[in-house]
Copies of this chain bind each other. A is one copy, B any other.
Amino acid sequence: MLNLAPSTVSRALNDSYEISQATKDRVQELAKSLHYQPNPFARSLRAQKSKTIAVIIPERINNYFSQVIEGIESITQEFGYHLLVYSTHENLDTEKKIISYLVNGRADAIVMSVSSQTREIDHLENVFQNKVPIIFFDRICREIPTTKFITNDYQSGYNATMHLIEKGCKKIFFLLLSRDISIGKERLRGYIDAVKDSGLAFSESWVVQCSQDEARNLALIKHFLYGMDRPDGILASVEKLAISTYQAAKEMRLNMPKDFKMISFSNMKIAGLLNPPLSTISQPAFQVGAECAKLLMQKLTKPKQPPLEDRVIEIPSKMELRESSGD
C-alpha cells in the first residue's frame, strides 16, 4: 500500500536504524490503523523459536499446581511469552504423547512435574537430547541432568512426623500416592527416620499406598480407621489424601484431633476453615513457578547462555499448625 518492499516494512516496524524516520512513521502509522499484528508462525518459522513455554502438570484441579502456574506466568508475561498448559492426569501414556508434541519446537522450553506413573524416562531423555530446555519441579526426575526445584521434602516429612509424636501419637500412618515419584520417596524417608528416631515400633503396614481412584482411597482409609490397629496419627503426603481422610472421618463420625491427629502436605488456602482446621506443610508454589520461569527467561532471552545446570534447588516449605494435629 505504501509502495515499499516487504523488507523495508519489516525493518520499519522493527525500528531498524537503516530506515529513515519519515518512512518509519508512515509505516508504523498505517500498521496501527490497520491493527496489523505480525504472523507468529512466520516469525517462529524464520527465527526458530516460538516464544512459548509448555507447562506439564499431573492434574489441573489442584491448588499447588495452579499457584505454580501463576508464578511462572508472573515472570514470562513480562517477556511476552505464551503458556501452553497440559495435564497428564497422572497417566504415563498421556505424558509421553504430550512430550512428543513438544520436541519439534512448538515450545522453547518445558516446565514439568512428572506423573505418579512415570517409571521409564525414555521420553524425557529424548527431550533432553533434542536440546529442548526442561526444568522439573516438585515431582522431579533426577536422572535427567538439568535444573530441578523441590522443597525440603525429607526435612518436612521428618518435622511433621516429629510434631505428631510430640503431640502424643504412637502409631502414625503415612499416606502416599506412589512410591515411585521423588517427593513420595523423600517425604517417606523423613517420616520413617522420625518414627525410628523416636523409638516407635514402626511397621511396614503403617505406610499406606493409595491410588488415583478417590472412591477406593476413601474405602481404604475407612477400612484402616475401623480396624483394631488403627492409627492415632496420620501424615498425608498429598492434599488429596487428606481430603479423603476428612471425608472418612466425617462419615465415621470420628473426631479430630481426639480420635486421631493429622497433618498434611497441602496448599489449600482454606485449610484453616475446615472442620477441624487442618495443619499443613505448605509449599512455596508461586515462588517455585517464578524461579523456574526466571531461569528460563535468562536462558532464552539472552545470547550465549550455557545449558541449564544439573542441580537441585531446594526452597523450604512452611509448617502451619492448626487443630487437626492437636494444636
Contact = CB atoms under 8 A, between A and B. Distances in A.
Contacts of A103: 35, 37
Contacts of A270: 243, 246, 270, 274
A145 to B, nearest CB: 20
A272 B130 CA distance: 48
Interface residues of A, number: 46
A106 B60 CA distance: 23
Contacts of A63: 61
Nearest to A243: B270
A269 B327 CA distance: 26
Contact of A66 (B42, B61, B84, B126): B61
A283 to B, nearest CB: 14
Interface of A: 35, 37-42, 44-45, 50, 52, 60-63, 66-67, 69-70, 73, 82-87, 100-101, 103-106, 126, 130, 243, 246-247, 250, 269-270, 272-277
11 contacts: A35-B126, A37-B101, A37-B104, A39-B105, A60-B66, A61-B67, A73-B87, A243-B270, A246-B273, A270-B274, A275-B277
